[in-house]
Amino acid sequence: MIAVTAIVLSLSACKKDKELPEADENELITKVSLKFTNVADASDIATVTWADPDGEGGVAPTIGTLNLKANAAYTFEVSEVLNETATDPDERNVLNEINEESDEHLWVYKPNAGLNISLVRTDKDENNLEIGLKGTAATGAASSGQLQVILRHQPGVKDGSETPGSSDFDALFPVSVN
Amino acid sequence: MKNCLRLFLPLFIYMIPYVAVAQNCDSMIFGTVRDGEDKTLLPGAGLLIKETGARAATDTDGHYHLHHLCPGRYTLIVSYIGYTSREIKVTLNGQKELNIVLETQRQNLKTVLVEGVRTELKPLQVSSRLDGKTLEMTRGESLGESLKMIAGVNSIQTGPTISKPVVQGLYGNRVLIYNAGVRQEGQQWGSEHAPEIDPFIASQVTVVKGASSVMYGADAIGGVVLVEPAPLAYGNGLDGKINLVGMSNNGLGALSGSLEGSPDKNHHFSWRIQGTGKVAGNARTASYYLKNTGLREYNGALMLGYKNKSFTADVYASSFNTKLGIFSGSNVGSTEDRNSAIGRAEPLKIYQSNLNYDIDRPYQEVNHHLLKFRAGYELPSAGTLNFQYSYQQNYRKEFDVVRASSQDNYQYRFDLSTQVADVFFDHKPVLGLNGRAGINGIAQHNYYDGAYLIPFFKSYSGAAYLIERWSNKNLELEGGLRYDNKWMQAKKRVIPRDNNSPVERPEFNFDQVSATLGAAYNLPLGYRLNATLSKGWRPPSVNELFIEGVHQGNAAFERGDRNLREEASLNMSAGLSRQSGKITGSVDAYRNQIDGYIYLQPQLDAAGMPIFEITQRGGFLAYQYVQINARFTGLDAMLSYEINQHFTLTGKFATVKAINTVNKDHLIYIPADKITGIVRYALPDTRLFKLTTIDFTAIHVARQSNVRDDQDFTPAPAAYTIFDAAIASSIPVARNEWNLSLSISNLLNADYRDYLNRFRYYSADLGRNITLRLQVPFGNKHQHIIKKQNHD
């Protein structure tokens, strides 16, 4: 047995100890920020950020709280989508890519029941379907809850509804309206 | 003289244009060898064709097959320990059943002539085989699919393109596959990784049920699938075969061809080349197509052989290449995606598509290359010494639905290389014992690129084993012992997805002893009892130790556990079988106790609520590889009754229960009870159609009601019944016999879902499929023999 194992060992010993590949998560998103601007007062800006610098697994993501005024009108935009693990700047800035492929993406905003906020997408792609990178938000009476933000990736199947495709991003942001 | 005759051959052929006989070298003799007195079957009897040197031995059931014979007259020499050898003259043309009886040589056992003949040694335990016409009727299907007709064998599927065999409830790493005598080492990191084998290459597929670690190695605690190409033929001339398959359901077209010959005058050398191409489009359920379920497959194999009186050597090289589409509707990015996909009665219209051959993301690309060298040397009085070395390279790339910047890249790539060396000695009878002693070494390296799922690893294993068999007239005993040791070192970052995390190299060392004890007893009237007790084990695989990430298609975050220990199994099985007579069949019962059974368990918190792993795509159900104790008990039965020369009824039944003996839960993904009934009608031969049969088959699969609804994402699907029909015939064309068949599966286009198909969450199973198969043999072998026959 030793002889056989030795033969096999010697035949395979020529393989070098390879380096581990760079952790390359093509579709990774480590940071998403949303920026809300008060229509009545352009200096009143609320930004909220979701961050998971070590990617899937490891440490759980940190999520900020979105603080908005009651009974107010806002415009909002997705201000930042990053993959901070990527070294290539194009790969790092996921937002640019989503902009370029707006006909394959749809942002979905779902406030939970009891949270007095309604969001409307205002931007359209080349097929006249909504994208959701920009929109307007209207708050009602003071309340708190969670806003679910979903990025749907719908290559070749986008029809304006949330259903087709799969989720590239899906997170719950705590929201406080007061 | 021969050369002279050959010159006249064309003339002869011209003179006998109406003798349309099968003159290709695809004839075969098969049958049984029995004791002349009490008619018991004799396993291990040697058969030799004097003229060609072709050899075979009866298997554990006393059956033999001699394939690839040219039509002609032969002398068959049959011998068996303790019996007088016989010489039998046979005129062969097509298939011939020849049941041979041997008389006991009572006076002096020492003078027994033992031919150094042995087919591949197989364990005494329960096994089932697909060959001949049965195997032909599965051409075009994947290996996993084609084995489903054996009672107790199922396949675990990931959509229509990916299926893995399940033997008596066990699958994956617990069922070893031997391809042309080489232990198949592909990536088995999930049930969506199908065996990388071209079934067209096989002339026989055998499933050994139950633990068979002693002969086939640690891991084989569920069973072994042996995919065996026909032995190389050492005869005159060129010979070949073309297989054509067309299927209506997914527009599958398959073409497979082989060509073989023996170039030298003395037939010391032989060669064969084989190639297969297969293309399929989207598969169809009863009422809609499944988008992106096509496949392409291109395979090739080359065999070279040399043999003289006491030395044989052969080289086997094969390449398997496939691209498999994965149903678009199963591409779930998050738990919510999955839940809404599961909630739909049928997939979204945009995923229903039509029949086309486009393969988009998600898809898999798999390549498997094998090179084997084998040599055997027969030592005059001691036995045969064998050496085998094989090298396998497996590449797997998985492509997910991604944004454009990653569109040219794979998301996962694995690169596994395996070298196996075997030395074994089949000794001649000593004190009535026949057996084999061997040693085995395996070296394995795995690398990955792209995203992390499993680490780099290297492993070295060594084993030594001994199997002995003793038999007298009615009783056969088998005993075996094996020791395996496996060393493995992984290489990964402590936090795999963090480039700044330090590299670690955890090491593992596993070793255990396997043992087997078997007995078979031949009862009167051809009945045979057998029982096997075997102890096997399996070291945890690298994914069970280190996987970390989301597997596509099931939206579950899987984690390995590096503290897992070996699985140890104790397998008991017993069966009763009968191979000849009006009633034939087998009934086998088994009990397989597996301590430390490793499986993926959904993680629950203290309150019993599922734990979610939070990622950018929301929460994924957390799964962890854990060890429990499990017990598999079950029964496989097959019974055939030949009513008359036209009608045969066959029934098959299989049931298995798998219990977590710690908490008494039933395990998930265990086959539901299955019952099959077949009515076969054999038509009388006509001038145009020979050996024509018509089969009607009904298959009923019960609901898997052992598992609770909360053990899975959805309750187990309802029971279903499907009907199949087939007609097959052999047609003499020119000088060859073509095989033609037409079969329809799911005749009534039933809408059903199968419990073992992981995509039952997203879509129904396949609808009606009409398959047309044509096998065209060609060749000019042994024309001088044909001529001689005409002289007679």
Average pLDDT, chain B: 86
Residues B271, B259: contact at Cβ < 8 Å?
no
Contact state of A166 with B337 under an 8 Å Cβ cutoff = yes
Q: Which of B447, B497, B614 sits opposite A60 (nearest CB)?
A: B614
Name the pLDDT band for B104 (thresholds 50, 70, 90).
low
Contact state of A58 with B497 under an 8 Å Cβ cutoff = yes
User: Poorest-confidence range of B407-421, B496-510, B604-618?
Assistant: B604-618
Contact state of A4 with B450 under an 8 Å Cβ cutoff = no
Name the pLDDT band for B789 (thresholds 50, 70, 90).
very low
Q: How far does A5 lie from chain B, in Å, by closest CA? A: 5
Q: For the sheet containing B72-79, what is the strand order?
A: B55-57, B46-49, B72-79, B86-92
- Residues 412-471 in B contacting A (C-alpha not used; CB under 8 Å): 417, 419-423, 439-443, 445, 447-452, 456, 460, 462-464
pTM of the model: 0.82
Residues A130, B365: contact at Cβ < 8 Å?
no
Interchain CB contact of A87 with B (< 8 Å): no
Task: Write down the ipTM of this complex.
Answer: 0.77
Q: How far does B425 lie from chain A, in Å, by closest CA? A: 13
User: Poorest-confidence range of A102-106, B564-568, B605-609, B658-662?
Assistant: B605-609
Interchain CB contact of A16 with B (< 8 Å): no
Name the pLDDT band for B562 (thresholds 50, 70, 90).
very high
DSSP state letter for B328: G
Identity at B347, one-letter amino acid code: P
Average pLDDT, chain A: 87
Q: How far does A114 lie from chain B, in Å, by closest CA? A: 21
User: Poorest-confidence range of B31-45, B473-487, B631-645?
Assistant: B31-45
Q: Which domains are present in chain B?
A: 2-119 (2.60.40.1120), 127-784 (2.40.170.20)
The residue-averaged pLDDT of B310-324 equals: 95
Contact state of A23 with B423 under an 8 Å Cβ cutoff = no
The pLDDT value given to residue B88: 83
Tell me the residue ranges of DSSP E strands in B120-229.
Answer: 127-131, 153-158, 162-167, 170-171, 175-179, 182-183, 204-209, 223-228
Name the pLDDT band for A13 (thresholds 50, 70, 90).
very low
The pLDDT value given to residue B78: 87
Contacts with B500 (C-beta within 8 Å, 6 or more apart), sequence order = none
Residue B619 has pLDDT above 80, yes or no: no
Residue A71 has pLDDT above 50, yes or no: yes
The residue-averaged pLDDT of B577-588 equals: 89
Q: For the sheet containing A105-111, what is the strand order?
A: A66-68, A166-177, A143-153, A105-111
Backbone angles phi, psi at B227, to 5 degrees: -105, 110
User: Poorest-confidence range of A115-124, B399-408, B577-586, B686-695?
Assistant: B399-408
Pick the residue with more confidence: B57 or B333?
Answer: B57
The pLDDT value given to residue B730: 92
Name the pLDDT band for B544 (thresholds 50, 70, 90).
very high
Backbone angles phi, psi at B585, to 5 degrees: 150, -170
Chain B residues with CB-CB distance to A60 below 8 A: 614
Share of chain B above pLDDT 70, in %: 91
Q: Which among B137, B131, B135, B229 is positioned nearest to B179, based on CA atoms? A: B229
Name the pLDDT band for B761 (thresholds 50, 70, 90).
confident
Q: How far does A151 lie from chain B, in Å, by closest CA? A: 9
Considering all CA atoms of chain A, what is the largest pairwise distance in Å, rounded to the nearest integer? 84
The pLDDT value given to residue B91: 78
Alpha helices in B468-616 (DSSP H): 542-546
Chain B residues with CB-CB distance to A21 below 8 A: 448-450
Interchain CB contact of A89 with B (< 8 Å): no
DSSP secondary structure, B258-309, as one string: EEEE--STT--EEEEEEEEEEEE---BBSS-B-TT--EEEEEEEEEEEEE-S
Highest mean pLDDT among A26-40, B23-37, B344-358, B534-548: B534-548
Share of chain A above pLDDT 70, in %: 89
Q: How far does A53 lie from chain B, in Å, by closest CA? A: 9
Q: How far does A81 lie from chain B, in Å, by closest CA? A: 11
- Residues 100-119 in A contacting B (C-alpha not used; CB under 8 Å): 100-101, 104
pLDDT digits (tens, 9 = 90+) for B622-679: 889 999 999 999 999 999 999 998 999 999 999 999 999 999 999 999 999 999 999 9
Chain A residues with CB-CB distance to B385 below 8 A: none
The pLDDT value given to residue B736: 83
The residue-averaged pLDDT of B112-128 equals: 54
Residues B34, B461: Cα–Cα separation, whole Å: 42
Residue B165 has pLDDT above 50, yes or no: yes
Pick the residue with more confidence: B784 or B688?
Answer: B688
Name the pLDDT band for B260 (thresholds 50, 70, 90).
very high
Q: Which two tokens stand for residue A174?
A: 């705590």
Residues B141, B198: Cα–Cα separation, whole Å: 9
In total, the C-beta contacts within 8 angstroms joining chain A to chain B are 167
pLDDT digits (tens, 9 = 90+) for A144-164: 999 999 999 998 889 999 988
Q: Which helix H or strand E contains A12, and what residues bound it?
A: helix A2-12
pLDDT digits (tens, 9 = 90+) for B696-719: 999 999 999 999 988 888 889 999
The pLDDT value given to residue B791: 35
Residue A133, burial from CB neighbour count under 10 angstroms (0-12, 13-18, 19+): buried
Pick the residue with more confidence: B62 or B412?
Answer: B412
Residue B130 has pLDDT above 90, yes or no: no
Kindly report the number of other CB atoms within 10 A of residue B287's CB atom.
11
Pick the residue with more confidence: B112 or A94?
Answer: A94
Residues B176, B507: Cα–Cα separation, whole Å: 24
Residues A162, A131: contact at Cβ < 8 Å?
no
Name the pLDDT band for B792 (thresholds 50, 70, 90).
very low
Residues B535, B537: Cα–Cα separation, whole Å: 7
- For B102, half-sphere exposure in the C-beta direction (CA atoms, 13 angstrom radius) is 30
The pLDDT value given to residue A5: 52
Name the pLDDT band for B79 (thresholds 50, 70, 90).
confident
Residue B734, burial from CB neighbour count under 10 angstroms (0-12, 13-18, 19+): exposed
pLDDT digits (tens, 9 = 90+) for B772-786: 999 999 886 533 333
